[in-house]
Amino acid sequence: MTPPATPDDIRQGLRTDAERNRARVLAAARSVFSEQGLEVPMTVIARQAGVGIATLYRRFPTREDLIGAVFDDRMDAYVAAISEALNDPDPWHGFTTYVERVCAMQAADRGFADLLTLTFPTAKALEAKRDTAYKGWLALITRAKDSGHLRPDFSPEDLPVLLMANAGVISATGDAAPDTWRRLVAYMLESYAAEPVRSNELPPAPAPRALYRAMIRLTRR
């Protein structure tokens, strides 16, 4: 006969269930945020995770708590990107590579695209990493300007403007023309240069049929 469960067994079982539920919620949120953005209802995430909404809120009392947990590793990658750019011996290459990398991160994850153009004051750890990346960004701009490659009137706020524009292109083109953002970013990087430059390998424009599908998709939305 199986011996009765002890209080320690019960507590361990509850902890195991709680961790399992937390992992399921995080996995569901990553998937849903990536596909639909950060404004998706919490009920959708709970349903995707196979848990009740009360269980979700026990693990993550606010949306910002959930967003902070989901994107903790992405923000680490965001900070790492600026660190690598600052270590590039070529200031202009470091600058352009960083911008391209961040925009690629946007394109790969719609939730992260939203994250980069929003602020979450109560998500302290997330905002601390954003602040670290921003300070690195200021240093990267200074290096690029001092090298003579970045136009002197470039502003730190030009990156958020680009990210907003890029997020719009990514959202509008979707699967119909998924690489369109690359052409936008290439054009913008050329415009940031102190001296006129022309890329020999400008990413191709979307095919007319693909762009038409994207326009139809946007209209239906």
- For residue range 131-155, what is the model confidence (pLDDT) as tens digits? 999 999 999 999 999 999 999 999 9
**From start to end of the chain, where are the E strands?**
none
How confident is the model over 185-208, as a mean pLDDT?
81
Q: Are 149 and 193 in contact (CB under 8 A)?
A: yes
Q: Give the whole-angstrom CA distance, residue 118 versus residue 198.
A: 33
Confidence grade of residue 130 (pLDDT, cut at 50, 70, 90): confident
For residue range 150-184, list pLDDT tens digits in order: 999 999 999 989 988 998 888 888 778 888 999 99
Q: What is the mean pLDDT of the chain?
A: 85
**Domain residue extents for the chain:** 7-70, 72-220
Task: Output DSSP code: residue 41.
Answer: -
> Which of 7-11, 30-34, 145-149, 160-164 is the least confident region?
7-11
Q: Do 7-70 and 72-220 come out as alike in CATH topology?
A: yes
- The CATH code of the domain at 72-220 is 1.10.357
Contact 176, 214 (CB under 8 A): yes
What local confidence, expressed as pLDDT, does residue 219 receive?
67
pTM of the model: 0.77
Tell which CATH classification among 1.10.357.10, 3.40.50.300, 1.10.620.20, 2.40.37.10 matches the domain 7-70. Answer: 1.10.357.10
For residues 45-56, average pLDDT: 91
- What is the pLDDT averaged over residues 104-121? 83
Cβ–Cβ under 8 Å, residues 165 and 184:
yes
